[in-house]
Structure 1
Amino acid sequence: MKAFRLALALLTVLPLAPKEAGPEDLRRSVAFFPLAGYALGLFLALSAFLPLPRGLLAALQTALLLGLTGFLHLDGLLDLADAALSARPKEERLRILKDPHLGPFAFGVGGVYLLLLWQGLALAQDPLFLLLFPGFARFAILPLLNRLPLLGPGMAASLRGGPWGMALLLALPFPLLFPLPALFTLLAAFLVARLALLRLGGLNGDALGAMIALGEVAALVGYAL
């Protein structure tokens, strides 16, 4: 139960963090990343029954998804965009990654991301899909986290080596029911990880957040197609 509460605390703003958690608890929490995603998806699925115009409903769901994560994954996407897309030397890109200020790449990528997220949600009002896709997006980062180089100590390093096989079992309903969106999610996570590896040298917490954010958008695009 402690590991599950820790997964919720890491990936949502729900105030469920255990009072004491050690390194092994952090590693074990990755098994419950899909369940943390399902908790977010539950809010989206329930909101699909509101009698609102589809565009307005999608805007509300966008706000729910971003707000319930504390904008954590969006922040990772913006930081990674500024650093990885910069034409500066690698040492300068790594400095930009830690800079809290936003540059032009962050604004551009963030704007396109929000438009795609809103439009994708407007086209995907199947409650079952809305329940499941955030969970699979949070599973999709785990195989890459355990195989690719890391930038150094930090949250990504603390999560590495966790029991992601159990997470796979929990995430399995999504690819069985929605194979194309699942494939798009995995592809998006891989491409973001590849960009971080080529441009920065490895993964960190920002890269993982960007992988989740773009994995969700990719799932929505796959559903729309």
Structure 2
Amino acid sequence: MKAFRLALALLTVFPVAPLEAGEEDFKRSVAFFPLVGYLLGLPLALLAFWPLPEGLWGALGLALLLGLTGFLHLDGLLDAADALLGARPREARLRILKDPHLGAFAFGVGGVYLLLLWQALALVRDPLFLLLFPGWARFAFLPFLERYPLLHPGMAGAVRGGAWPWALLFALPFPLLYPLPALLGLLVPWGVARLAVGRLGGVNGDVLGAMIALGEAALLLAQASSSAKAGPFG
């Protein structure tokens, strides 16, 4: 299916994009974003059955989650961190957003993000959660993509106005099974979007990448915290 292959090409490192794709194909691909997330979660869920030390499991999970996406969302997070943080006028922020070089905020936010993600993955061994949470993270930013203005058309504009209600249908198992992490997974992208609108005037592909990256981290941290509270016999 062309729309599904396009969703895979947009969100992962797999070179499966159709040779020809029109505007409607991009919009239809949005419906399959959660399914792509499930494909990313599948190796994590399988890895959870492997009796590895927590630290090594977390490192391998991190490598899978970042590597299978081609570090796309991490790149967006780093670019957005430099542009959104610090005291600068809007024009300077927009200029920084286009600059391919990384600044202090990118290194700081990126380092803390990777540490938190690694630790959260080390603590979460629920295979069903690991299968489903990347799908919810790839749905949770879509309502805010529809709500807030775009800085420029780009790829974000190509998928805006797509079939995101269908994406909700595919993503629905996660909030039904894990309602509190799901709520946090919506609040974090909303906060990133609000910050971007306030400081940049809108969202773009880098901001969307930051929304996905931070949304995944929030979901994992919420589940890790819940697992810790449950105790070893939870």
Which TM-score band applies after superposition, normalised by the shorter structure?
over 0.9
Deviation at 1:207, TM superposition (A): 0.5
Provide, for residues 173-197 of structure 1, a one-character-per-residue CA deviation record: whole Å limited to 9, x for no partner.
0000001110110011101111111
Deviation at 1:51, TM superposition (A): 2.5
Cα distance in 1 for partners of 2:50, 2:196 equals 39
Q: Does 1:57 align with 2:57?
A: yes
Helix, strand or coil at the partner of 1:213: helix
Question: In structure 1, what is the equivalent of residue 132 of structure 2?
Answer: 132
Question: In structure 1, what is the equivalent of residue 159 of structure 2?
Answer: 159
Question: In structure 1, what is the equivalent of residue 174 of structure 2?
Answer: 174
Cα distance in 2 for partners of 1:86, 1:200 equals 13
Question: In structure 2, what is the equivalent of residue 95 of structure 1?
Answer: 95
Cα distance in 2 for partners of 1:146, 1:69 equals 23
Question: In structure 2, what is the equivalent of residue 70 of structure 1?
Answer: 70
Equivalent residue letter for 1:143:
P
Cα distance in 2 for partners of 1:69, 1:204 equals 18
Question: In structure 1, what is the equivalent of residue 150 of structure 2?
Answer: 150
Deviation at 1:80, TM superposition (A): 0.3
Provide, for residues 4-41 of structure 1, a one-character-per-residue CA deviation record: whole Å limited to 9, x for no partner.
11001100012221111111111110000000100100
Provide, for residues 143-192 of structure 1, a one-character-per-residue CA deviation record: whole Å limited to 9, x for no partner.
11111111012111111000101000000000000011101100111011
Cα distance in 2 for partners of 1:108, 1:182 equals 27
Question: In structure 1, what is the equivalent of residue 17 of structure 2?
Answer: 17
How well do the aligned residues superpose, as a CA RMSD in angstroms?
Answer: 0.8
Instruction: Give structure 2 stretches of 5+ with no counterpart.
Output: 226-234
Equivalent residue letter for 1:169:
L
Q: Normalising by the residue count of structure 2, what TM-score does the alignment of the two structures yield?
A: 0.95
Helix, strand or coil at the partner of 2:4: helix
Kept in 2, the 8 Å contact 1:140–1:185? The answer is yes
Question: In structure 1, what is the equivalent of residue 231 of structure 2?
Answer: none
Question: In structure 2, what is the equivalent of residue 196 of structure 1?
Answer: 196
Kept in 2, the 8 Å contact 1:54–1:122? The answer is yes
Instruction: Give structure 1 stretches of 5+ with no counterpart.
Output: none
Q: Normalising by the residue count of structure 1, what TM-score does the alignment of the two structures yield?
A: 0.98
Equivalent residue letter for 1:184:
L
Helix, strand or coil at the partner of 1:79: helix
Question: In structure 2, what is the equivalent of residue 121 of structure 1?
Answer: 121
Question: In structure 2, what is the equivalent of residue 185 of structure 1?
Answer: 185
Sequence identity percentage: 76
Helix, strand or coil at the partner of 2:147: coil
Kept in 2, the 8 Å contact 1:38–1:131? The answer is yes
Question: In structure 2, what is the equivalent of residue 219 of structure 1?
Answer: 219
Cα distance in 2 for partners of 1:184, 1:193 equals 14
Cα distance in 2 for partners of 1:49, 1:64 equals 15
Moved over 6 A (4+): none
Kept in 2, the 8 Å contact 1:86–1:93? The answer is no
